[in-house]
A and B are shown apart, each in its own frame.
Chain A
């Protein structure tokens, strides 16, 4: 069960500590304390599970982005698809939201969710917005699909005080194996398209993005990675399937 706010990992450590605690036959103050925490965590989790019955588990990238966005902020989502993330942001963060999306059918879904969306190309849909007219500009799983990522990123950094970028990591070990051993264009959960049907125009790795930010004098304020084994936090460029970055311009320099 996916927790709503990605707290599972911290809870797991607490539970782990309990298991190593030597329990005496007479409960000590310490063990009562730990058991209380353990129980309250269990109850809370059970309550969440009950609440989540019948609901789609939240996508991990969505929960990270939701964590990063402050309440009552203004958000521009570039490539907002059917508006799922944007409407979550509106609901959870009370944000003033605007989306840009190229697909007509997705526009109908966004409008159904009560969102304001422009049916436009991201590559030339930003010039009318004033400098820093949004607290956040989101480019989640869309930067690799635009014609000129460099131009779009610079525009996003102009229009937004902060920019959230999320993209599939091309240097994930599975991609590397598939290229190296099979000699084939990689097909992974985060890059699921065959070469002839992929909407992705650019392929970048987490290290590529970090290098780009350094060269372009872009500050990486926060980063998060999504992967399916224990090492993705340690060596994200090898083990993370998705990288997420909260970036801004260096204003102090």
Chain B
């Protein structure tokens, strides 16, 4: 935590309770003949979306916030499953008294299309073959993910979302939401994200994909029923992890610490950083499907919000207010990409706030700089929900 801001909310954050036990729910749509037509022109259906909700939808249905997850996230954003002690991936931000205050707001999070945590993806059963899709699963894009979420939001009876928010890939979905359904979005919080994937980002993803596909266990994507391509997926995750950190955060976290403090083994993981990457890679394999990793990283790489139009054309219809956040040490999604979002907001006359948080955590900062994010999100939401909160006279 590099900032020294004294937050009136700090105490609230500490006092804030977790949402407690939560449950996953499922929504199925696009059954034949109403399949979802994808960006690629292919049809997909039926589609099941796994989702969780926290808090209560108010009578006017004006307090709904859609939280969008990143590459390896899922619908479990907050709280605990009963019998599990691991909280949701953004538990520190979502809950009573937290940034996304579930006493005030109704928070929704769903697993993305192509995922492997309950939503239809390449590991789901293909109704035509009664066997997992594998590479028969159609190519998907960020836009397809958003189109699927729109069905869920309609199903929940929400006409307009108070806010769409996400970091990294979640931020891309948030931007896509504003561009695709401007009339349904009241505010947007894109965090550490981009208007289009850069060649460097595509390059890292391609190395990850090649690692998976060169694992003999991958078998052209048809490994279901046998051993998954674990080694390939571990390497892909390790590359990912490196890009999520920064030189400084790695130095601070691991230094050059070595197992047993001396030179000994032949190419075993000795350095703490090596052991960390192995440990997290191994854990990742237990919870993530290799084909999902291929499909979702490809969706990231295809992402370009302009999609053949000028950005001005895409943004001119948007009336939502923006809170854009970026992190100084993020070299995977560098701050210039967030500044590009700010620029197009300015050009299109959109009210936008931009903050470049002085963090050393790299891209991971969006999951770690809770204090700063909480302060910004809390007051931004208060403004967009209640109108201006100018309190200068009461000081």
Q: Which residues of B contact A129 (CB under 8 A)?
A: 346-347
> B376 near A108 (CB under 8 angstroms)?
yes
A-B pair number, CB within 8 angstroms: 79
Q: How many residues of B contact A (CB 8 A)?
A: 35
Known: A108-B376, A129-B346. A116 touches B352 (CB 8 A): yes
> B390 near A90 (CB under 8 angstroms)?
yes
Closest CB-CB distance, A193 to chain B, in whole Å?
22
> A56 near B375 (CB under 8 angstroms)?
no
Closest CB-CB distance, B34 to chain A, in whole Å?
41
A115 CA / B323 CA spacing, docked (Å): 11
> A128 near B393 (CB under 8 angstroms)?
no
Q: Mark A97-116, 1 if CB is under 8 A from B, else 0.
A: 01000001101101111111
Taking the complex as formed, is B58 at the interface, i.e. its CB lies under 8 A from any CB of chain A? no
A253 CA / B102 CA spacing, docked (Å): 59
Known: A113-B390, A114-B388, A128-B346. A105 touches B355 (CB 8 A): no
> B380 near A111 (CB under 8 angstroms)?
yes
Known: A104-B358, A105-B3, A128-B346. A113 touches B391 (CB 8 A): yes
Name the contact of A56 in the complex, choosing from B5, B7, B351, B395 (C-beta under 8 A): B395
The residue in chain A whose Cβ has the minimal distance to the Cβ of B372 is: A108
> A114 near B352 (CB under 8 angstroms)?
no
The residue in chain A whose Cβ has the minimal distance to the Cβ of B321 is: A116
Name the contact of B5 in the complex, choosing from A87, A108, A117, A119 (C-beta under 8 A): A108
Q: Which residues of B contact A115 (CB under 8 A)?
A: 353
Taking the complex as formed, is B342 at the interface, i.e. its CB lies under 8 A from any CB of chain A? yes
Name the contact of A87 in the complex, choosing from B4, B323, B392 (C-beta under 8 A): B392
> B342 near A118 (CB under 8 angstroms)?
yes
Name the contact of B4 in the complex, choosing from A91, A105, A107, A119 (C-beta under 8 A): A105
> B347 near A114 (CB under 8 angstroms)?
no
Q: Is the interface of A mostly helix, strand, loop or mixed?
A: mixed
The residue in chain B whose Cβ has the minimal distance to the Cβ of A83 is: B392
Of A87, A119, A130, most B-chain CB atoms within 10 Å: A119
A110 CA / B355 CA spacing, docked (Å): 11
Taking the complex as formed, is A216 at the interface, i.e. its CB lies under 8 A from any CB of chain B? no
Q: Which residues of A contact B4 (CB under 8 A)?
A: 105
Known: A114-B383, A118-B342, A128-B347. A87 touches B390 (CB 8 A): yes
A114 CA / B395 CA spacing, docked (Å): 15
Taking the complex as formed, is A223 at the interface, i.e. its CB lies under 8 A from any CB of chain B? no
A55 CA / B393 CA spacing, docked (Å): 7
Closest CB-CB distance, B122 to chain A, in whole Å?
40
A141 CA / B372 CA spacing, docked (Å): 28
A88 CA / B392 CA spacing, docked (Å): 7
Q: Which residues of B contact A133 (CB under 8 A)?
A: 349
> A114 near B392 (CB under 8 angstroms)?
no
A84 CA / B358 CA spacing, docked (Å): 23
> B354 near A120 (CB under 8 angstroms)?
yes
Of B358, B388, B392, most A-chain CB atoms within 10 Å: B392
> B379 near A114 (CB under 8 angstroms)?
yes
Known: A116-B353, A118-B342. A105 touches B5 (CB 8 A): yes
Q: Which residues of B contact A107 (CB under 8 A)?
A: 353, 355
The residue in chain B whose Cβ has the minimal distance to the Cβ of A129 is: B346
> B356 near A119 (CB under 8 angstroms)?
yes
> A112 near B379 (CB under 8 angstroms)?
yes
Q: Which residues of B contact A110 (CB under 8 A)?
A: 353
> B355 near A114 (CB under 8 angstroms)?
no
Q: Which residues of A contact B353 (CB under 8 A)?
A: 107, 110-111, 115-118
Q: Which residues of A contact B395 (CB under 8 A)?
A: 56
> B356 near A114 (CB under 8 angstroms)?
no
A107 CA / B339 CA spacing, docked (Å): 15
Q: Mark B1-31, 1 if CB is under 8 A from A, else 0.
A: 0011101000000000000000000000000
> A119 near B355 (CB under 8 angstroms)?
yes
Taking the complex as formed, is B389 at the interface, i.e. its CB lies under 8 A from any CB of chain A? yes
In A29-48, the 8 Å CB interface with B consists of: none
Q: Which residues of A contact B372 (CB under 8 A)?
A: 108
Q: Which residues of B contact A114 (CB under 8 A)?
A: 379, 382-383, 388-390
**Contact surface of A with B, Cβ cutoff 8 Å:** 55-56, 84, 87-88, 90-91, 96, 98, 104-105, 107-108, 110-120, 128-130, 133
A sample of 17 inter-chain contacts (CB < 8 A) reads A84-B392, A104-B358, A107-B353, A107-B355, A108-B375, A111-B323, A111-B379, A111-B380, A112-B375, A112-B379, A114-B379, A114-B382, A114-B383, A118-B342, A120-B339, A128-B346, A129-B346
Closest 6 interchain pairs by CB?
A: A128-B346, A114-B389, A114-B383, A87-B390, A118-B354, A114-B388
